[in-house]
């Protein structure tokens, strides 16, 4: 049971020292993730990256990703591929030339996942638990490797964790806006 008289446990958001420690963890995470974003390019290493890329191309060519059955997949990654191809790809280059940009966006969301995990563990347990969870997520080799791919995983994980954190915060502190933020995040 959480003691409501404890200021740390009753705080809506973590204290400054916590954010400073999380910033150091994020610097390490950025060094591990951003340095390897182009490891296989111009060849595409992950089997899902071309599918999302082709779905984005189908949106340009026919207005929908339905011809290849991607209309029901989380639309964020397909939309990112579409937007990057639409606005940044030269017409005489193959669709895969924008994969490096998709990967950078995906890595940025992977970094945001670390913040969301830290906040969620802070809300559920203690401030130190949040930092330990963030540090563990930062250095886990499998997570570092998969965070570099331009797939929907980072986006879905981020929005799910933010939905859970916002809903827990809203119900604990009786803040309706936080609960609506959680619902909106779950929809994304």
| Chain segment 69-87, per-residue pLDDT in tens | 776 677 688 889 999 999 9
Its pTM surpasses 0.85: yes
> Which of 41-50, 78-87, 138-147, 165-174 comes out lowest in average pLDDT?
41-50
On average, the pLDDT of the chain sits at 87
pLDDT of residue 75: 67
77: which 2 tokens? Answer: 């990654």
pLDDT of residue 111: 96
Q: List % helix, strand, coil for the chain (3-state, nearest 5).
A: 75, 0, 25
CA 23/CA 30 separation, integer angstroms: 10
pLDDT of residue 32: 94
CA 87/CA 66 separation, integer angstroms: 21
Return the residue matching tokens 């059955």: 69
| pLDDT > 70 in the chain, percent | 93
Q: Give the distance, in angstroms, between the CA of residue 178 and the centroid of all CA atoms in the same chain.
A: 19
Question: In this structure, how many other beta carbons lie within 10 angstroms of the beta carbon of residue 184?
Answer: 13
156: which 2 tokens? Answer: 């879905």
Banded model confidence at residue 179, pLDDT cuts 50, 70, 90: very high
Sign of torsion, CA 38 41 47 51? positive
From residue 139, how far is each of 12, 32, 132 by CA, in Å?
Answer: 28, 8, 11
136: which 2 tokens? Answer: 């563990």
Cα dihedral value 124, 127, 130, 132, nearest 10: -130
**Structural contact between residues 13 and 20, judged by C-beta atoms closer than 8 angstroms:** no
Asked if pLDDT for residue 49 goes beyond 90, the answer is no
Asked if pLDDT for residue 6 goes beyond 60, the answer is no
pLDDT of residue 10: 58
pLDDT of residue 1: 43
């Amino acid at each position: 049971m959480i003691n409501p008289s404890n200021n740390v446990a009753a705080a809506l958001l973590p204290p400054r020292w916590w954010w400073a420690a999380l910033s150091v963890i994020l610097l390490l995470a950025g060094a591990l993730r951003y340095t390897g974003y182009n490891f296989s390019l111009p060849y595409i290493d992950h089997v899902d990256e071309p599918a999302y890329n082709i779905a984005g191309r189908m949106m340009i060519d026919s207005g929908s990703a339905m011809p290849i059955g991607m209309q029901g997949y989380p639309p964020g990654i397909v939309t990112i591929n579409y937007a990057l191809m639409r606005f940044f790809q030269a017409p005489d280059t193959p669709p895969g030339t924008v994969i490096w940009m998709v990967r950078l966006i995906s890595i940025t969301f992977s970094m945001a996942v670390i913040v969301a995990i830290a906040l969620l563990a802070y809300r559920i347990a203690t401030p130190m638990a949040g930092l330990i969870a963030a540090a563990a997520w930062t250095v886990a080799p499998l997570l570092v490797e998969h965070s570099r791919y331009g797939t929907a995983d980072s986006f879905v994980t981020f929005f799910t964790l933010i939905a859970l954190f916002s809903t827990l915060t809203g119900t604990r502190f009786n803040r309706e806006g936080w609960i609506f933020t959680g619902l909106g995040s779950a929809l994304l």
